[in-house]
Structure 1
Amino acid sequence: MSQTRSSSGRAPEPTRIGGLRPSQMIHTFGPGAVVDLPSMSVVVGGIDGWNIHDTALIAEARLLDSVRSLPGCARVSELRSPPWMEESPNPYQQWAWVGVPVFPFPRWMRCTGCSRLAPVDYRLFSLEVNRYRPDRSYWYHDMCQGRRPHVVPTRFMVACANGHLDDFPWVEYVHQGGSCPNGPPVLELREAGQANRAADVRVICKSCGAQRMAHEAFGDQAWRNLPRCRGRHPHLHQFEDGCQESPRALLLGASNSWFSISRSALTIPTDASRTDEIDQKVEERWDDLLDIEERVVLDYVFNRLRAGRGEEQRLWLLDYDPDDIWETIERRRIRIPGTEDNENEAEETDLRGPEWRAFANPEPLQTDDFKVRHLPVPEGFENTLDTPIAVDRLREVIALCGFTRIDGPDDAGVATRIAPLWTESPTWLPAAETRGEGLLIRLSEPQVQAWETSFERDPRYQQIVEAHRGWRTRRGLEPQLAEPRARFLLLHSLAHMLIHQVALDCGYSTASLRERLYSRTPDEGDPMAGVLLYTASPDSEGTLGGLVALAEPDRLASTLRDALNRAGLCSTDPMCADHLADEAQDTLHHAACHACMFVPETSCEHGNRYLDRATVVPTLSTPDLAYFI
């Protein structure tokens, strides 16, 4: 990460102040997110300020077609990795100049010596940079009581559900919405009482004597004590007019200050019905061919390879005829939006359907990024399961498309509130690719249809649907959109049970395991009923096979039985078993809690919502609705 620092009469120069992993820039600290460093805090700048020459192209055509359907992404033609280079002990090598721009935020800071509260723009504070240890860089108040005490960011900021973020309005807040009557305000921030809470601080105006406790800015009616949202996007250095959302005070580091909106796709063979080896190889190795845009370039590459001077990763080209390779490249070339009609747009934006067909194909095609095996159904589960699938090799690409604040992205209607990553309409998006292994559990479609017909008539299902509608209505969203179907509740609950059990059996932590749900009823299209549990790593070799080993019939049977037995009784029962969804309390789950079903945010696609143990196994309060009896 590099902070932009300007000096009088000079152009801004980057200053390295820390580091992030590329995957963190997609999941946790993307553009618009506040990064709380040891001695300062910063907001990550928009992607239009990233140096595209420090990024690498990532090929995944299906995902690219899908992200174009999101608001503001119609012109996206590329997916690229965030700028990153491996560090070395020498801070004067090239890696030290590769990074993403960040800016001080909150801009209001407090001197630890005199408690003076002022923004960076007042130039009261200076930045000390440690080039050899960027994490030790800090702001200081020069000549404060004859010393140079550290300056720390204030722990408060304001945000709204439209994705805006702003500094806490200290001047307006302490003066009850007005300004200081005695001229320029001089503010101090001091602890009050025992300071048991972060908000137990008092802001004081030394110019006029006004003072106010910070905790008055928090609570259900606290928006009355705050000015209207200014529509600020600090990562883009711009303001949007006309925001009608009420701002909310947040603590620095609050988990609801930034939620990534991303889309992911697994790399699958181009078409389960095609067997053309060249087509599959070009699809699989598309990263090696992205820069070959003319036939003369391809001929040059072949000539260098034959002479032994070409790149090693392209040696596979020599196994094929150049004419066939060029013809396949032209067919495969990623299309730029607006240059060509997309006849299969609806199909290409369906990410899960093609993956399900590739997995379920009786004779699945195999590539370096997609290797699967169909295994026998475990003994004792012949009536409830379909053929399980061991996924020996998979590749996942995740693209960051935007972000939200306050409310998480698991809500289907949140697309109307996506905050932008850019100032103008982007032509590329940041993405990350990982490789790993997995296990696909498929349920018997006839059995699932019979079960969901019965479950959807039960008041228990209707109650979670009503809670879903009320929860969305309170947020001004279409209440009947994205209603959870019965099979989705079943699959989601089963996935969480298996994540906990697999973590015990194969040694992975629950945070390193992820779910990918394939849920679709017959009236929505080709039916799907399956759960993919997988783990992936940015390393090109992927993971070590501990998860896929559980797919063997004997081990899978044992894992399933243990998971179902553990889920039948929770340590917090009967409270957990009796719990029902309640939109007033923001709980969209029935029998589920941290002791039995909840998993880390990195593992769940839906924020631990829409869970119910009773759909999978009998519970103390609901013994007769379970799929597995």
Structure 2
Amino acid sequence: MSNELGELRRSAVVATFGPGAIIDFRADQATISAVAAGLEEWDRSFPPAGLRNEQCIHEPRLQRKLGVHGFRLPPVIDPVRARKGNGDKRSLVAARFPGWLQCPRCNRIAPQKKWGHEPGKAFRYCSCLAGKGEAGRTYVLPVRFVMACPNGHLDDFPWHWWVGHDDGCAGRSGFLHLESERPGHAGLILSCPKCDARRSMDGIFSNQTWERFSTCSGKRPWLAGPDQNCNHHPQAVQRGASNLYFPVIESALSIPPWSDRLQEVIGIYWDAIVNVDPGQRVRFVRMLAENVLAAALQELHVTPEQLVAQIDYRIHQYTQPVTDLRQEEYRQLTSGQNTNGDTDREFEVRNVVVPKDLAPWLSRVVKVVRLREVRALKGFTRIVPPGDENRDLAALSLQPMTWLPAIEVRGEGIFLELNHEHLSKWEAEQKWAQDRAEKLDLAWKHEWRERYGDDTELPESITARFLLIHTFAHALMRQLTLECGYSSASLRERIYASAGALPMAGVLIFTATSDADGTLGGLQRQADAARIVRTVEAAIAAMEWCSSDPLCIEDVFARPGSFLLAACHACVLAPETSCEHFNRFLDRALLVGPEGTSQTGYFSDLLPGRRK
């Protein structure tokens, strides 16, 4: 029987609470914990299935990279249907997890079937008050601990195994007690009321503890399918721990020619036109133009022949090998061409003359007046954050789909390109910067080998160029939040950094959010000549001194595994939703130079009192 649990923001369904994530709801005055179901339930609950659904979007470049035909937005109820009759009762599906629940009053724990319930209600309750002559009932809560493995599997904690019943105990499938007798896990005692077996929860998170436990059960409660074979040993995890669900998101900006409205205007007839024999395509479009496509041709201001030519170009581009999406975006942003918002509704840029005060360090300033970003969820990991290669992703569905869940967000931004000549000279002269980048790179690759094995292909190296541009992006975001009125969590970075045959050295700071902080105009206005000088100078000046110095600048805060050098919350770190790299790979010393040395950062000469 279905139960109404609550509501989620559309953007949260793709990121924080995608399929396989545990969500806490407040339903009927009780706390309900459930795991979001897989993509098959999207088709079942919100037909028509697949890309025939009206709540679909397209981003050809991202589709080509991910090997799908389109994306579906997290489904929402139809407001028209909701106003008629009894309303629209459709909803996404979640399955109760964990299955074990605890009474906060008597401290008993047991599977959900052993607690009292009412038909059609999601809550479960304990009757411990009834025996004491008290009125009311106590709603039981989901237990704190669950089991997970790096392959994404999820299972209930083995409570009866952990307590260690005596031989012949009659309580091997009954109630247990979990009570805190003193602080810490060592004081959290699990006991059996039948055989008086007792064991503390001390050591529950140690890997050695579970080496003698059987291998992972392979359960996937978010999918209605059989368990998988899994050779991993499971690990105990807090139900609300941040490492229980790492969504793997791929994103792309809509850029010309993909950002025009061609596919949107053609709508449901796109697949029909594409699947027609190329030699008959013009004739087929002419036939459609007499009725169903007449309005589309008029809106696009094209003839049937011109429409077919544009479609053929799209098909040709779509069949090309997948290239670096960042390279395509970088070429568009550095092309020097302004785009017109009248002809392209998704991408509009205006080039700004670089002020002479910034010319030694920057070669291009671009106002991104309008942009669209599509973010697609392609899987998730547990325990271990996703790496660059995104290996071992947990599945969102039992069988591969021709689509993935995604959201589209619109915003504005500023693109800054570093002066390639000055950057190359700085990289060649400042050997210390290369040494600092190599230090982080060695630590990153060491962890990568521990995670995936020595024979795995290593990720892309961490370079001084990347560290510099990434840290510069964080400095800009912190300063822009003070000047343009956006909250820090509303700004995002997009890093373009590479050397070699096709070098990139730029950063896009943009707003792409589904709430009110979208396209208010305050961000792109900061690219005006007078404003951008003030912004960049203030951002670099703020990096010269941190309230945690000298500890911060001397890397004392750079704890193992953080992949940070001169960076901390007081100077560089940003909200993790704003950073592409989860607040890793940052070093403000590359911007302003190490303290007390003759070594210079890329922007050292921009600091107050040091300009040449």
Residue 322 (structure 2) aligns with = 346
Cα distance, 1:285 vs structure 2: 4.3
Aligned pairs, number = 572
- Indicate the SS of the match to 2:452: coil
Q: Is the 8 A contact 2:207 2:235 kept in 1?
A: no
State the partner residue of 1:102. Answer: 94
After superposition, residues 408-419 of structure 1 pair within 5 angstroms as 408-409=385-386, 411-413=387-389, 415-419=390-394
> What does residue range 537-576 of structure 1 map to in structure 2 within 5 Å?
537-538=513-514, 542-576=518-552
Per-residue deviation at 1:224? 4.5
SS at match of 1:212: strand
Give yes or no for the alignment of 1:140 onto 2:125: yes
Describe how 1:222-371 pairs up with structure 2 within 5 A: 222-224=209-211, 226-238=213-225, 241-270=228-257, 283-292=260-269, 293-294=271-272, 303=291, 317=299, 319-329=301-311, 331-332=313-314, 344-347=320-323, 350-366=324-340, 367-371=344-348
List per-residue Cα deviations over 1:472-530 (Å, max 9, x = no partner): 22223447422212111011000111111111111111111000001110x2x311100
> 2:277 maps to what in 1?
none
Aligned residue number for residue 115 of structure 2: 124
For residues 598 and 237 of structure 1, the distance between their equivalents in structure 2, rounded to whole angstroms, comes to 41
Q: 1:134 maps to which residue?
A: none
Aligned amino acid, residue 162 of structure 1: N
Q: Is 2:598 the counterpart of 1:611?
A: no
Matching residue of 1:73: none
Quickly say closer, same or farther: Cα 1:454–1:95, change in 2 above 3 A: farther
Aligned to 1:151: 140
Paired residue secondary structure (2:552): helix
* Corresponding position of 1:35: 23
Aligned-residue offset at 1:380: 1.8
The SS at the match of 1:501 is helix
SS at match of 2:257: coil
2:490 is equivalent to residue 512 of structure 1: yes
What is residue 62 of structure 1 aligned with on the other side? 61
Provide the rounded CA distance (Å) in 2 between the counterparts of 1:330 and 1:382.
42
Match of 1:462 among 432, 438, 442: 438
Q: Contact 2:246–2:381 at 8 Å: present in 1 too?
A: yes
Q: Which runs of 5+ in 1 are unaligned?
A: 6-13, 69-75, 131-136, 272-279, 336-341
Aligned partners of 2:360 and 2:492: how far apart in 1?
26
| Letter in structure 2 aligned against 1:526 | L
Q: What do residues 544-573 of structure 1 show as CA deviations (whole Å, max 9, x unaligned)? A: 101001001111111111111111111111
* Structure 1 residue 83, shift from structure 2 partner: 1.0
Which one of the candidate residues 17, 38, 56 is aligned to 1:46?
38
Partner residue of 1:215 out of 197, 202, 220: 202
Query: Which one of the candidate residues 379, 387, 393 is aligned to 2:364?
Result: 387
Q: Does 1:169 align with 2:169?
A: no
User: How many Å separate the matches in 2 of 1:446 and 1:605?
Assistant: 26
Deviates more, 1:463-472 or 1:497-506: 463-472
The letter of the residue matching 1:381 is: L
Q: Is the 8 A contact 1:473 1:479 kept in 2?
A: no
The answer for unaligned runs of 5 or more in structure 2 is: 274-283, 605-612
Tell me the alpha carbon deviations over residues 150-198 of structure 1, each in whole angstroms, 9 at most, x when there is no partner: 121111112122222221111111117x98633543233333224x557
Give the counterpart letter for 1:64 in structure 2: Q
1:19-62 CA distances to partner (integer Å, 9 max, x unpaired)? 11121011100000001223111100111221253661211100
Q: 1:116 to 1:509 in 2, by over 3 A?
A: same
For 1:28, what is the secondary structure of its paired residue?
coil
Give 1:578 deviation, angstroms.
1.2
The AA in structure 2 aligned to 1:102 is A
CA 27–558 in structure 1, closer or farther in 2 if over 3 Å, else same:
same
| Change beyond 3 A, Cα 1:87–1:210 | farther
Matched residues in 1 for 2:14 and 2:579: separation? 16
Secondary structure class of the residue paired with 1:291: helix
1:378 to 346, 355, 361: 355
Q: Which moved more, 1:180-189 or 1:478-487?
A: 180-189
Query: Contact (CA 8 Å) 2:437, 2:462: kept in 1 or not?
Result: no
User: Which deviates more from structure 2 when the two are superposed, residues 93-102 or residues 493-502?
Assistant: 93-102
Counterpart of 1:586 (choices 561, 575, 598) is 561
Secondary structure of 2:264's match?
Answer: helix
Q: Per the alignment, in what secondary structure is the counterpart of residue 472 of structure 1?
A: helix
The residue aligned with 2:10 is 22
2:609 aligns with none
Distance 2:107 2:79 in 1: 37
TM-score norm. by structure 2 comes to 0.85
How far is 1:290 from its partner? 3.0
**CA–CA distance in 1 between the matches of 2:570 and 2:587?**
13
Deviation, structure 1 residue 395: 0.4
TM-aligned CA deviation for residue 142 of structure 1: 5.9
Q: Aligned pair in 2 of structure 1 residues 167, 377: CA closer, same or farther (>3 Å)?
A: same
Q: Deviations over 1:280-305 (max 9, x none)?
A: 7xx33422323014477986686479
Pick aligned residue for 1:496 from 474, 480, 501: 474
**Contact map agreement 1:186 1:206 (CA 8 A) in 2:** no
Between the two proteins, what is the percent identity of the paired residues? 34
Partner amino acid, structure 2, of 1:174: V
From 427, 435, 441, the equivalent of 1:452 is 427
1:276 paired residue number: none
How far 1:601 sits from its partner (Å)? 1.3
- Going from structure 1 to structure 2, the CA distance change for 1:198 and 1:531 (only over 3 Å counts) comes to farther
How many Å separate the matches in 1 of 2:55 and 2:289?
A: 20
Separation in structure 1 between the aligned mates of residue 311 and residue 516 of structure 2, nearest angstrom: 24
Residue matched to 1:11: none
Q: Give the conservation status (yes or no) of the 8 Å contact 1:185–1:207.
A: no
Larger deviation, residues 451-460 vs 26-35: 451-460
Could you list the per-position Cα deviations for residues 340-391 of structure 1 after superposition, in whole angstroms to 9, with x for gaps in the alignment? xx652133xx111111111111224431111001111133221110111000
Whether contact under 8 Å (1:399, 1:430) holds in the other structure is: yes
Alpha-carbon contact 2:147-2:236 (below 8 Å) kept? yes
Distance 2:565 2:517 in 1: 40
Q: 2:382 is matched with which residue?
A: 405
Separation of aligned partners in 1, 2:54 and 2:126: 37
Matches of 1:228 and 1:154 in 2, distance apart? Answer: 22
- Residue 568 of structure 1 contacts residue 619 of structure 1 at CA under 8 Å; is this kept in 2? no
- Give me the whole-angstrom Cα distance separating, in 1, the residues matched to 2:4 and 2:379: 25
CA contact (8 A) 1:163 1:419 kept: yes
| Cross-structure match for 2:512 | 536
Between 1 and 2, higher relative CO (CA 8 Å, sep ≥ 6) is seen in 1
CA distance in 2, matches of 1:491, 1:199: 46
2:65/2:322 contact within 8 Å kept: no
Alignment RMSD: 3.1
